[in-house]
Amino acid sequence: MSPVKVVEMFIHGRITKKQHRRVGIRFADRLDKALAYMEEMPFRMDAVEETLKGNGRGGLPGLEQKMDVISAKIDARDAIVQTKMDGIITNVDALRSKVDKSAEVAGEVTKMSSALTTFTADANGQLTTIAKSTAYIHEHNVVTTNLTELKDAKNAEAMAILNRQQETAVAVIEGLRKQVVDLTLAKVKHPGEAEARDHPTKIDKAVGNDFDVGGEVARQNEKAAIETADDGQKAAGDVAGKDWRGPPRKPMKRLPTGVRDGLLSLANFTSAVLRFI
């Protein structure tokens, strides 16, 4: 236990005065012994030096020779180390040249990076242009679709109008045809050119000059219809009274010129109506 520790313990009351005194006596004895040893130390160092030189009693002979060998080995090691250091320096110089080349490469890399940056900017511009073009194409497609839908709607509306006109024209033609048939039947039942001449028919009033059917044409139509009806009745009576393998029927008379002209005008008008539809 150190004297300082003993004093601290004594101050804090951990040891008694008697114990402190004993410790102090032992410490004083140790201190005296240490001083005596230090006084003898120079003489002991001289003895050690003489022993190392080999001149003293019980020395180590040949120690200096061994030290010379060790020094030679150390010098050889120093030479080897120096050689290695020279090689390291050479390698360092090579690395330095490589570093210089690396600097050049770094410069080239910097140039390439700059070119890549420029190319990236151009590519971004191209992408922006492509995006705008795509948007324009999309808008154009939308407009085209709208125009197509509008065109389809207009076509449907036009077709509906044409269908209505066609239905109207067909109804008019059917009405005219029915009027012609009714008029023909009426004239068959009540023949008479004077009546037809004095009283124009319904078809004359309905179509007028559009069909090129005047009073004269109407009279010719009536006459031809009467003759055709008479021939038909006569032929029907002949067939009813004879076998179906009897003599052939009497050939139908050629229509008058006025009748043929009227029918041709009616056909032309019908064709024009159909073309319009």
- Phi-psi label, residue 15: left if phi above 0, alpha if psi -120 to 50, beta otherwise: beta
Ramachandran angles phi, psi of 38, nearest 5°? -70, -30
Which positions ≥6 away from 216 have C-beta within 8 Å? 258
What is the predicted pLDDT for the residue at 257? 63
* CA 187 – CA 193 distance, rounded (Å): 9
Consecutive 10-residue averages of pLDDT for the chain (277 residues): 61 60 65 73 71 54 70 84 84 80 79 86 86 86 86 84 81 79 67 48 44 49 56 50 49 57 68 60
Terminal-to-terminal C-alpha distance of the chain: 135
What is the predicted pLDDT for the residue at 207? 44
Query: Is there a contact between 252 and 228 (Cβ–Cβ < 8 Å)?
Result: yes
- Helices 17-53 and 3-11, axial angle in degrees (round to 10): 170
pTM of the model: 0.26
What is the predicted pLDDT for the residue at 239? 44
